[in-house]
């Protein structure tokens, strides 16, 4: 016969205090009691090998110590690095993250919002533009659930937000190509781009107003396919709005018999680890990805503790990391 599960009632009996006292001490309210009482409870817990019942604790404390995190594409190293930053802070604060990969599917992301809400998570981090403000209003704001948007989605005054300076990033990419003498340039990006990608394009166009768009998904496959269109034009400088597209361009252009940077200079965006492991190493706009995740988690935990405080929006800087995928163009005389 299996041993009977140890309950909080057993801990209270062993330590000689009430169940309420045990509950409060085991849920972080030790300061309310004498050191002697706290010691008795903790010793009883250890002697009995007691583990609190998660769901019972949730009913009492009205807290789950879990955060729901929605990302659009976990295969993109940008998001895995972002999640590391989020998890770094949550682990430190004794929170657990529930990661949901939505595959850039709006319906799937809305379902995840509802399911995480039903499971009683304490807050939400939304790192995808596909989640509509309508879904946020219906599921989160309606139920007064704390949430934060980052990177891909504009807060639009409905939540805290952590962003990186995408407009400046686009400008830096364009200025770098301009400084190298490039005039025939293109931006490789999705046709219906998320807000942050659109900002990069606008920043690029502040230097090159006539820059052409070449359509591509935000993936290596998209970049590879876009190479076919690029080789039919007279471009010399390319701005890939994320590094994944840039890696796809490497392969697609190579398959077309083109060389980087001799035939095309390429600037990427994100500065994921692989930038240093491809040949030639990729010039890119570096985002502080790990810090972006950390800052987002910290801001959400502040919101959970202070639900009435004013909305905050934090902007993190970006910088150009020059490597070997760009070179000065030879001017024809």
In-domain check, residue 330: no
Bridge partners (DSSP) of residue 240 are: 188
pLDDT by 10s per residue, the chain, length 333? 346 788 888 999 999 999 889 888 887 788 889 999 999 999 998 999 887 765 555 555 557 789 999 988 888 899 999 999 999 999 999 899 999 988 777 788 888 888 898 888 999 999 877 666 777 777 888 788 899 988 555 556 678 889 999 999 999 999 999 999 999 999 999 999 988 999 999 999 999 999 999 999 999 999 999 999 999 999 999 999 999 999 999 999 999 999 999 999 999 999 999 999 999 999 999 999 999 999 999 999 999 999 888 988 899 999 999 999 999 998 654
pLDDT in tens, 287-300: 999 999 999 999 99
Q: Are residues 200 and 157 in the same domain?
A: no
In-domain check, residue 38: yes
For 224, the enclosing helix (H) or strand (E) is: helix 220-230
In-domain check, residue 103: yes
Q: Are residues 152 and 300 in the same domain?
A: yes
In-domain check, residue 325: no
In-domain check, residue 40: yes
In-domain check, residue 80: yes
pLDDT in tens, 190-205: 999 988 999 999 999 9
- Summarize the chain as % helix, strand, coil (round to 5): 45, 15, 40
Q: Are residues 154 and 235 in the same domain?
A: no
In-domain check, residue 323: no
Q: Are residues 299 and 152 in the same domain?
A: yes
DSSP assigned state of 184: S
For residue 51, the enclosing domain spans: 8-61
Q: Are residues 209 and 266 in the same domain?
A: yes
Angle, helices 8-15 vs 19-26, to 10°: value is 110
Q: What is the CATH number of the domain that holds 174?
A: 3.40.50.2300
Q: Are residues 295 and 153 in the same domain?
A: yes
């Amino acid at each position: 016969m299996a041993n009977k599960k140890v309950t909080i009632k057993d801990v209270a009996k062993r330590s000689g205090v009430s169940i309420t006292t045990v509950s409060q001490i085991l849920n972080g309210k030790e300061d309310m009691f004498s050191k002697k009482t706290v010691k008795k409870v903790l010793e009883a817990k250890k002697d009995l090998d007691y583990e609190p019942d998660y769901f019972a604790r949730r009913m009492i404390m009205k807290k789950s110590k879990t955060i729901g995190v929605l990302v659009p594409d976990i295969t993109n190293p940008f998001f895995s690095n972002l999640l590391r930053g989020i998890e770094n802070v949550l682990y430190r604060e004794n929170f657990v993250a529930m990661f949901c990969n939505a595959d850039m599917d709006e319906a799937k992301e809305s379902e995840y919002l509802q399911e995480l809400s039903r499971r009683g998570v304490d807050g939400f981090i939304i790192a995808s533009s596909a989640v509509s403000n309508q879904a946020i209003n219906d599921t989160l704001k309606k139920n007064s659930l704390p949430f934060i948007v980052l990177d891909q989605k504009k807060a639009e005054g409905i939540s805290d937000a952590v962003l990186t300076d995408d407009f400046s990033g686009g400008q830096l990419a364009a200025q770098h190509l301009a400084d190298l003498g490039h005039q025939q340039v293109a931006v490789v990006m999705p046709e219906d781009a998320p807000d942050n990608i659109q900002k990069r394009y606008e920043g690029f166009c502040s230097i090159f107003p006539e820059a052409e768009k070449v359509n591509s998904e935000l993936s290596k496959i998209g970049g590879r396919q876009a190479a076919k269109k690029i080789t039919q034009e007279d471009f010399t400088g390319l701005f890939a709005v994320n590094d994944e597209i840039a890696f796809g361009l490497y392969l697609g252009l190579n398959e077309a018999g083109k060389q980087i940077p001799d035939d095309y200079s390429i600037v990427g965006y994100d500065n994921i680890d692989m930038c240093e492991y491809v040949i030639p190493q990729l010039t890119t706009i570096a985002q502080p990805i790990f810090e972006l995740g950390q800052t987002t988690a910290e801001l959400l935990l502040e919101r959970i503790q202070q639900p009435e405080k004013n909305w905050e929006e934090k902007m993190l800087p970006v910088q150009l990391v020059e490597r070997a995928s760009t070179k000065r163009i030879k001017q024809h005389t």
